[in-house]
Amino acid sequence: MSEQKKTFEHVIRERWCKGCNICVAFCPKQVLALKNGKVTVVQPNLCIGCRLCELRCPDFAIEVHERGKPESVGIDAAHRDYGISPEAEHD
Ligand code: SF4
Ligand code: SF4
């Protein structure tokens, strides 16, 4: 079996990101940076998929997925519905 390097993609919900820098500070690989007050992925190839950014973000504004993998089932499957933004009106 050939060793293929895992790659990861990042889902960023810009509207939810308040630019607090927590994910940037926790990322051990300097994958992330703040630009214009929002997080951006500057070195995606360095990502090791540790998901610290996702776990530490207080606003659920960033998610990490392994590329080429079917939607992961399990631990956070129940929390996947981000269709409604926190600012949405409830009336
Ligand atoms: S998953 Fe880990 S390495 Fe990848 S961006 Fe998030 S904190 Fe950085
Ligand atoms: S931790 Fe969350 S809110 Fe803070 S900069 Fe990162 S993505 Fe944005």
Ligand 1, atom 7: closest residue by C-alpha: 27
Q: Is residue 2 part of a domain?
A: no
Residue 17 — very low, low, confident or very high, per pLDDT cuts 50/70/90? very high
Q: Is residue 76 part of a domain?
A: no
Query: Structural domain tally of the chain?
Result: 1
In the reported structure, the alpha carbon of residue 89 is separated from the centroid of ligand 1 by a whole-number distance in angstroms of 32
Q: Is residue 74 part of a domain?
A: no
**Residues 43-84: pLDDT tens digits?**
999 999 999 999 999 999 999 999 988 765 555 544 555 555
Q: Which residues have CB under 6 Å of ligand 1?
A: 8, 26-29, 31-32, 47-53, 64
Mean pLDDT across the chain: 85
Average pLDDT over residues 19-46: 98
Q: Is residue 4 part of a domain?
A: no
DSSP state letters, the chain: -------EEEEE-GGG-----HHHHH-TT--EEEETTEEEES-GGG-----HHHHH-TT--EEEEETT-----STTGGG----S-TT----
User: Quick one: pLDDT at residue 84?
Assistant: 55
Q: Is residue 91 part of a domain?
A: no
Q: Is residue 84 part of a domain?
A: no
Ligand 1, atom 8: closest residue by C-alpha: 27
How far is Cα 88 from Cα 37, in angstroms, rounded to an integer? 21
Q: Which residue segment(s) compose the domain that 37 sits in?
A: 16-69
In the reported structure, the alpha carbon of residue 3 is separated from the centroid of ligand 2 by a whole-number distance in angstroms of 32
User: Quick one: pLDDT at residue 86?
Assistant: 57
What's the chain's length in residues? 91
* CATH code where residue 47 lies: 3.30.70.20
